[in-house]
């Protein structure tokens, strides 16, 4: 598998005066891999994803895009999604195409891409519904579809399962896993309810980075939900 991102002695935070949240993160992310990012509140999970995206500069160390990976090939689903009452599902998903556009209007290519992702996630029939009218699970599928419009090789997801009931959570995680397998993209997810693959546990430093099986053995008594992992 080709390498996509290399982190070398990376320190993350929200800029000068804010302090470092976590330091000395070193890892390599490859195509098709699933990286679970866990940690207590304030440990830097969201900042780590933003740094991988290029939205935040490293406080120290570096993030290297490998094998021609471009920022425009990274799809992102942030933890906080603003909901405009007038926005339809289609408009919300179309917003994910903006980073791929080289012109100032939405054309057939963008509309087709948005419809393809809505169909893929089973929400095409909701295209004209307002985003604020949807259930939590439907809304998260719309935001995931928006992220997929920008994704080519890497998908960053910040707590996509938060606030969902057990059924909606398991269904959405299954969709994310299906997308990773079918597309061969790497997925980095910050969500303690979907721990699988490789686990990166952040604190003021890296507490763990390795296979999920080793992580579960290292934290007895804690439960994580990732479909088959309990």
pTM of the model: 0.89
Tell me: pLDDT of 228 over 50: no
pLDDT, position 150: 81
Q: Which domains does the chain have, with CATH numbers?
A: 1-69+153-163+184-230 (3.40.50.300)
Of 51-65, 123-137, 201-215, 216-230, the range with the lowest mean pLDDT is 216-230
Tell me: pLDDT of 194 over 90: no
pLDDT, position 124: 96
What digits encode the pLDDT tens for the residues 146-187? Answer: 999 888 899 999 999 988 898 999 999 999 999 999 999 999
Split at pLDDT 50, 70, 90, the class of 33 is very high
What value does the mean pLDDT take over residues 118-145? 93
Tell me: pLDDT of 224 over 50: no
Split at pLDDT 50, 70, 90, the class of 53 is very high
pLDDT, position 105: 60
Tell me: pLDDT of 132 over 70: yes
Split at pLDDT 50, 70, 90, the class of 104 is low
> HEC profile for the chain?
CCEEEEEEEEEEECCCCCCEEEEEEEEEEECCCEEEEEECCCCCHHHHHHHHHCCCCCCEEEEEECCCCCHHHEEEECCCCCCCCCCEHHHHHHHHHHHHCCCCCCCHHHHHHHHHHHHHCCCHHHCCCEHHHCCHHHHHHHHHHHHHHHCCCEEEEECCCCCCCHHHHHHHHHHHHHHHHHHCCEEEEECCCCCCCEEEEECCEEEEEEEHHHHHHHCCCCCCCECCEC
pLDDT, position 85: 59
């Amino acid at each position: 598998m080709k390498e996509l991102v290399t982190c070398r002695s990376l320190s993350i935070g929200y800029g000068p005066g804010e302090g470092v949240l976590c330091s000395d993160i070193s890892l390599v992310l490859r195509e098709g891999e699933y990286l679970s990012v866990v940690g207590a509140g304030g440990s830097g999970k969201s900042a780590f994803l933003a740094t991988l995206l290029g939205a935040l500069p490293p406080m120290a160390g570096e993030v290297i895009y490998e094998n021609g990976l471009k920022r425009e090939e990274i799809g992102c689903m942030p933890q906080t999604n603003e909901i405009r009452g007038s926005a339809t599902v289609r408009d919300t998903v179309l917003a994910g195409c903006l980073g791929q556009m080289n012109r100032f209007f939405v054309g057939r290519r963008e509309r087709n891409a948005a419809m393809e992702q809505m169909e893929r996630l089973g929400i095409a029939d909701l295209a004209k519904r307002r985003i604020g009218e949807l259930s939590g699970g439907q809304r998260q599928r719309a935001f995931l579809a928006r992220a997929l419009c920008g994704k080519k090789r890497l998908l960053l997801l910040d707590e996509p399962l938060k606030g969902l009931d057990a059924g909606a959570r398991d269904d959405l995680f299954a969709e994310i896993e299906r997308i990773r397998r079918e597309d061969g993209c790497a997925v980095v997810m910050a969500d303690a309810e979907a721990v699988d693959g490789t686990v990166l546990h952040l604190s003021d430093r890296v507490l763990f980075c390795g296979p999920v099986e080793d992580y579960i053995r290292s934290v007895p008594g804690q439960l994580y939900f990732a479909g088959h992992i309990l």
